[in-house]
Structure 1
């Protein structure tokens, strides 16, 4: 136990080796995500250019729908070939880091990139960021396989690659690192944070070399008067309820797809692509991930009527597209919906309160962070992400107010974060498919929260799984070999050693014990 512990935690050479691997993950994952981003941008440009030349020509329209049928069939074939490329990909990464999946990294990498190109050409309302997380994670796993790393470090490099996915997709390195801590890892591993930051900086440099250094949002900045801060409370409540409705709608839509008898993957995807084609002809603004809808704000904010039409259309189309299981994410659609909620809210309340019209852009940015929080339930990631996307930290306090309220509302309503719901559904589908691996050790880290009921209790009296061993605790920056009579305290970082085959179930038990989750 002590040998394993020292090799993974204490050995400076090991940390140096992980840092080199982190740089390699930053290069490989960054290039893969940038390639994906470049291909999706090109695919969306091709689709929108074709829509402009159709111009009522029956032959071109028929040709368009024939093309969509082919895309649907190709996507179905690709997803049958590698089913772990379906959907967003973030639940798959989450499941892998918890030990429930062992995905084929190069097949998933290829299928995710090609499948994303197909859905972009078809105009489905799917974002690139969720898939970018999985692409980065699989590239990180590829680097770990190259070095034949331990299972512990393989999981670390998968998480590092996930951070690269957010970084390269948004040019937001800090948000990428926070995302893996807040949404996937649910803990603070200093080694992981250090390597992830190194990797994120490398990938951010690559991304900016290819796509430029400008921020994703270039809206004018103006401060909301303190006397009007009560509007933020109202906005937070609205975002909380709409986020709840979005999450419930997404799960209900998945259930509806599942209830259709004898529905093959080919028929499902062809149907989705054909519906997407109709929407592209009737309302092209809401097609694809949402960059075009955000771009409308660069010219002028649409009228309130158009804002409402675009919002409702995007809301329904996003749920329809994602619930089908087509390869693509909801990250960008969620941000776009948040932007339009903010624009609608500001269009109503700015004239009523006599505020400056330029404040509409401030409400748009704040609302994007708030709706992200209401659906994904990662407020810190949302705040940092929008600060990096807008290149400004002047909205931090306003975003904090809105995000906290938007977080509380769906939580009080008993709604789970969307990615946690999707993870549970994925695990339910795969619960009988777990394949034992050759025996290896996994060293996991858990941070003791303030509400842990075992604070002050000896390790021997804490009902940890019998197939796991508490090997060390970090307290006040010092490593301590944990003995049976050692009492845990708030803020302790506990290292627990588990066999890789026991890890999925032991990890869940340990989280229930330490974080007092539902049992």
Structure 2
């Protein structure tokens, strides 16, 4: 025992400096990522306010409202598209797969370029009304900050891996105001690339919590879902212990959501494969058109576009949603989600995914009440469980899904059904051999990278042969 104590003391002395310096770097990453996330949210809100201003200035001219909003949306989407394609193509989409690729040493991180494009392009693309989540840009920007801080400190490869993960967690925490879910996300989703250790996980926790404080307490931005939803949880679940009577319902919901997760991943990847066939010019026209449609829909049918936070609020406020309305929202938002992400503009799929889950869960609850009119469990409880379950099925991170929704909505009374739904949905997706979405996206990125390198090599060989000839 005494020998073990001495060895422990020697180890502590040997590593005291390095791990304290890593914690200091993680704190800096959290401070910068939280501040940048707050700035991103602020300017994004200003961009979205353009549509409100259009509606106010042309209150009596509906046609003019829609036309101007469509023009603004098309212009914003077009500029964002060109920024991505010309300056930093890796800034397209979520960026989570880019950070995971960098952690594995498979992808470079051009931090400054990506930061600029992700910040400006994300504001323009999401502000245009496309169905993209604001968490994608903040996670990618957080990872870039981790890279920059690590390079400035001349960090070792192991520390760089930690700082990349810490930056991603800080970005997710700034987006959702859910620091614990952000830590779990690194542990679950990034487990194959994250060098887990005492130092690394504590550094991730420091960055995540710091970003939450900066975004929420210092700048007062707040989480993605407003606090009113948290207050309404007391109305949704009057007697927490009663949820155990409805376990069979949540098992059925888990299977349904698992199937939805499989369909979500397959459809998204099929959409990306199809759109990859088009030239840059054709894709620019598609993106501009999509921006125009989204801009018009922001005024005509706001629930069909945007990240989905307001839609989730509306779903929970309407305890007797009509099935036809839910079906229309599901179809339109699903199509817009796949097209928006396929356009290549900066933006994530977390928030759109949660919105789709809420719609499916509310539909499940509504049907359950129609079949069993005396059912006491509110439809909103099924919507909450479905939000977490769809995340678990698509990302294959059930613990993160459980804690994310619980943190977002303060629905800790529903932990049991959340766990059941997430576990069943994740098992269902795994049983159907559905690959986690970010693994699929990273594989796609690496295939495209290999093709570009092969084409560059062939061009170089042709030029060499031409010179020798």
Normalising to structure 2: TM-score of the pair?
0.85
Q: Give the structure with the larger strand fraction.
A: 1
- Structure 1 residue aligned with 2:207, among 199, 205, 208? 199
User: Aligned equivalents of 2:16 and 2:374: distance in 1?
Assistant: 57
Among 73, 77, 89, which residue is 1:68 paired with? 73
Counterparts in 2 of 1:228 and 1:68: CA distance versus 1, 3 Å: closer
CA distance in structure 2 between the partners assigned to 1:434 and 1:155 by the alignment: 25
Q: Does 1:259 align with 2:277?
A: yes
Please report how far the alpha carbon of residue 275 of structure 1 lies from its aligned counterpart in structure 2 after TM superposition: 3.0
Among 324, 336, 361, the residue aligned to 2:343: 324
Residue 391 of structure 1 is matched in structure 2 by 410
**Alpha-carbon deviation of 1:216?**
7.7
Q: How many Å separate the matches in 2 of 1:158 and 1:9?
A: 26
User: In 1, distance between residues paired with 2:112 and 2:333?
Assistant: 33
Query: What SS class does the counterpart of residue 240 from structure 1 fall into?
Result: helix
- 1:66 deviates by 3.3
Q: Is the 1:170–1:216 contact (alpha carbons within 8 Å) kept by the matching residues of 2?
A: no
Distance of 1:53 and 1:363 partners within structure 2? 40
What are the ranges of 5 or more consecutive residues in structure 2 without an aligned counterpart?
1-9, 455-469
TM-score (structure 1 length as normaliser): 0.77
CA distance change for structure 1 residues 128 and 204 in 2, over 3 Å: closer, same or farther? same
Change (3 A) 1:212 1:326: closer
CA shift at 1:352, angstroms? 2.9
Deviation at 1:148, TM superposition (A): 2.0
Given that residues 243 and 375 in structure 1 are in contact (C-alpha distance below 8 angstroms), is that contact kept between their aligned partners in structure 2?
Answer: yes
* Structure 1 position 274 matched with structure 2 position 279: no
2:29 to 21, 25, 30: 25
Distance in 2, matches of 1:262 and 1:102, equals 23
| Farther off after superposition, 327-336 or 56-65 | 56-65
More helix per residue: 2
More off after superposition, 15-24 vs 36-45: 36-45
Residue 178 (structure 1) aligns with: 184
Distance 1:379 1:9 in 2: 38
- Aligned partners of 1:99 and 1:433: how far apart in 2? 18
Q: Does residue 54 of structure 2 align to residue 34 of structure 1?
A: no
The answer to which of 148-157 and 277-286 deviates more is 277-286
| Aligned 8 A contact 2:47 2:127 in 1 | yes
Between the two proteins, the alignment pairs up a number of residues equal to 430
| Paired residues for 1:62-141 under 5 Å | 62-79=67-84, 80-141=86-147
Change (3 A) 1:354 1:60: closer
For the pair 1:240 / 2:245, whether they are aligned, the reply is no
> Counterpart in 2 of 1:474?
none
Q: Is the 8 A contact 1:87 1:325 kept in 2?
A: yes
Q: Does 1:365 align with 2:384?
A: yes
* Residue 220 of structure 1: aligned partner: 233
Q: What secondary structure does 1:229 align onto?
A: helix
Shift of 1:298: 5.2
Please give the alpha-carbon distance, in whole angstroms, between the structure 1 residues aligned to 2:49 and 2:13. Answer: 48
Tell which deviates more after alignment, 222-231 or 109-118: 222-231
My pick for the range that moved more, 109-118 or 221-230, is 221-230
Question: Which of 205, 216, 222 is matched with 1:208 structurally?
Answer: 216
TM-aligned CA distance change 1:261 to 1:198, over 3 Å:
closer
* In structure 1, distance between residues paired with 2:19 and 2:176: 28
Shift of 1:176: 0.7
- Distance change (3 Å), C-alpha of 1:434 and 1:151: farther
User: Which segment is superposed worse, 205-214 or 339-348?
Assistant: 205-214
Instruction: Extract unaligned runs of 5+ from structure 1.
Output: 1-5, 436-519
2:423 is aligned with 1:404:
yes
Secondary structure (helix, strand or coil) at the match of 2:276 reads: helix
Tell me the residue number matched to 2:443: 424
The answer for the alignment partner of 2:150 in structure 1 is 144
Query: Does the residue aligned with 1:395 lie in a helix, a strand or coil?
Result: helix
Separation in 1, partners of 2:431, 2:22: 41
Would you say the 8 A contact 1:140–1:161 is kept in 2? yes
How far has the Cα of 1:392 moved from its partner?
3.4
1-structure distance, mates of 2:309, 2:448: 33
Question: Aligned to 2:18, which of 14, 20, 26?
Answer: 14
The whole-number CA distance in structure 2 between the counterparts of 1:192 and 1:217 is 34
Distance 2:13 2:298 in 1: 53
